[in-house]
Structure 1
Amino acid sequence: MGGAMKPKHREILRGIEQAIISGDAAQALARIETLAHRFERDGLDADSKAQIEQILQHLRRLAEDSARGTQRAIDQIRDIVKNARSLQTYDQAGQRHNTPTSAVLAQRF
């Protein structure tokens, strides 16, 4: 069996994962750039390449899941703001009208 992944590569990959998990896109991108430079400098054998491919697929899925979660949160906030604006509206005569809201609140058990 060929060589294992270099410890520095593994460390940078862990850093990328942590940045993705914490939602720090700028940090994740900076670390990905660092990793790319490392690969150029150090080279990769076939075994390391296969390992890294798997890890990168995992990181891509993690990033996609994170992006979906963020988009859901943004959509919920947008709905809440829109519904809050429509709760109390005033007509031209100064009469207040309450409008029912359809915001679905998350339930915790």
Structure 2
Amino acid sequence: MKTRHKAMLDGVQQAIISGDSALALARIEALAKRLERDRIEPEARPRIEQSLLHLRRLAEDSARGTQRAIDQIKDILQSVRMLQTYDQAGRRHQTPTDAAMPQRF
């Protein structure tokens, strides 16, 4: 595998790990253009494919972790919206909140 290809693959990995999806996408597109332009030696192809499979697994794991975090935040907000308080007379009051659901992307 060429040094430039390895550096580009490492750059994609770092962008995925840091959670910078825009940078990861830009680096993936640059890598795809570079691989189209360069000739890949037959002996380097399995290693590149293995690296791409690793990046795919990393991205999928990241997406699953993000979805779990989103689900947890939704559960927390649901609980907060259902908070019940009691006044000095012991009467229960349900206090709904109008907190907006956070969104990222």
Report the TM-score when normalising by structure 2.
Answer: 0.79
Secondary structure of the structure 2 residue equivalent to 1:38: helix
What is the aligned counterpart of 1:96 among 74, 93, 97?
A: 93
Q: How far apart are the structure 2 equivalents of 1:97 and 1:11?
A: 57
**Where in structure 2 are there 5+ consecutive unaligned residues?**
86-91, 96-105
Name the SS for the 2:40 alignment partner: coil
Percent pairwise identity: 62
Q: TM-score, normalised by structure 1?
A: 0.76
Q: How does 1:1-109 map to 2 (within 5 A)?
A: 5-88=1-84, 96-97=93-94
| Unmatched runs of 5 consecutive residues or more in structure 1 | 90-94, 99-109
The size of the alignment, in residue pairs, is: 91
| Distance in 2 separating the partners of 1:66 and 1:97 | 37
> Root-mean-square deviation (CA), in Å?
2.0
CA distance in 1, matches of 2:94, 2:63: 38
Give deviations 1:70-89, integer Å, cap 9, x for gaps: 00000000100011001138
